[in-house]
Structure 1
């Protein structure tokens, strides 16, 4: 059976304030010699992009350090709304720039251990039904910012939620046709693959 490898847009959400880590830009934190954003882009972008840079674009939602993110080889999108309105606003900005003809895989910048088979696992559901939103389930709970969807199907409802000052991604997902995609538990060092690096103590547990 041929490998399941559709073309898709990779979106990395890196527009937050990092308030639980002293205001740092978490996408610029490093693991080894690479930033979190670089690690995720290199691991998760469409494999065809290695042979054709125009195939399988990468978008990074970022409100700071935009030149640094641009050097990764991504299009950088600032929020369309003021005052750091959260990941749903970052998703709105990125989806506004994404191709309507490609599904999108979305990940947060603070999950640097996500596996390279994540896009294929999420995309199977949305390729079967373009109305659906595929969400990573790590065996314990949904990871609300690890998604696959079709931009045009999602953008209207996201804008509507934000216009109503409803900023919760979980709240938005509650109104969508959601397909949970469960990945088996894997660990790297002391942390599970789906761990969010939210505090300096999490950062200290990363391997290498």
Structure 2
């Protein structure tokens, strides 16, 4: 990519796999198999060329996730807050653990995430005003012209960890509400399929057959 962006070595990629998997009947979503590999492994493979380090947010089956991340030396991070409080808890663990300036997040059920996700979000971060943006997220527009925000596909400054910790300590849980506290930017992507989330075992079975 010719446009100025954030180098991969300044980014830690985080796979968000710490949820309850309720829409999949409580199974550990990231470990479900698609085309011979766990979903989280597909996401790790997509993130690996885009980041200097990798991590996995997981609250169950941490040994299995550690084995998945082994080829990339990905660390496995558990939430520091109890009772599966949502993706912001996984984000906080990633912000605390990262040794880079930026954290790039993606959910574990998005096996086709864009190969240029980091490059395009990073370009927007640097281009957004004199000091740049603190958080950059992705959007897509469907055939009807409806714009969708994909808030857990995000590039976030790791210096925001303390602010997020305070936000969660106050009982807040909404991703977009926390983003609204900061200088944020959005990047429009053309391919909706790249952000497709597999939300049920039936969907997974249909994709496996296809």
* Shared fold per TM-score greater than 0.5: yes
- Say if 1:130 and 1:150, in contact at 8 Å, map to a contact too: no
Q: Tell me by how many angstroms 1:125 deviates.
A: 2.1
Q: Structure 1, residues 99-119: CA drift from partner, whole Å, max 9, x if none?
A: 1x4322111111112121112
Instruction: Indicate the residue corresponding to 2:182 in structure 1.
Output: 176
- Matched pairs, number: 194
Name the SS for the 1:23 alignment partner. coil
- Say if 2:133 and 2:185, in contact at 8 Å, map to a contact too: no
Q: Tell me by how many angstroms 1:138 deviates.
A: 1.6
**Residues 135 and 32 of structure 1: is their aligned pair in 2 closer, same or farther, counting only changes over 3 Å?**
same
Gaps of 5+ in 2: 142-146
- What TM-score, normalized by structure 2, do the two folds share? 0.84
Name the SS for the 1:12 alignment partner. strand
Instruction: Indicate the residue corresponding to 2:205 in structure 1.
Output: 204
Name the SS for the 2:195 alignment partner. coil
Give the Cα separation in 2 of the matches to 1:155 and 1:202.
Answer: 35
Moved runs in structure 1, 4+ residues, more than 6 A?
Answer: none
**Residues 205 and 127 of structure 1: is their aligned pair in 2 closer, same or farther, counting only changes over 3 Å?**
farther
For the pair 1:97 / 2:100, whether they are aligned, the reply is no
Q: Structure 1, residues 50-109: CA drift from partner, whole Å, max 9, x if none?
A: xxxxxx11010100111111112210000001111111111111111001x432211111
Give the Cα separation in 2 of the matches to 1:20 and 1:45.
Answer: 27
- Say if 1:105 and 1:123, in contact at 8 Å, map to a contact too: no
- What TM-score, normalized by structure 1, do the two folds share? 0.85
- Say if 2:105 and 2:152, in contact at 8 Å, map to a contact too: yes
Of residues 130, 134, 140 in structure 2, which corresponds to 1:132?
A: 134
Q: Structure 1, residues 110-141: CA drift from partner, whole Å, max 9, x if none?
A: 11121211121111122444542110102221
Instruction: Indicate the residue corresponding to 1:26 in structure 2.
Output: 29
- Higher helix proportion, which one? 2
For the pair 1:87 / 2:87, whether they are aligned, the reply is yes
Gaps of 5+ in 1: 50-55, 187-191
Q: Tell me by how many angstroms 1:2 deviates.
A: 5.2
Instruction: Indicate the residue corresponding to 2:109 in structure 1.
Output: 110
| Greater alpha carbon shift after TM alignment, 11-20 vs 38-47 | 38-47
Give the Cα separation in 1 of the matches to 2:178 and 2:19.
Answer: 18
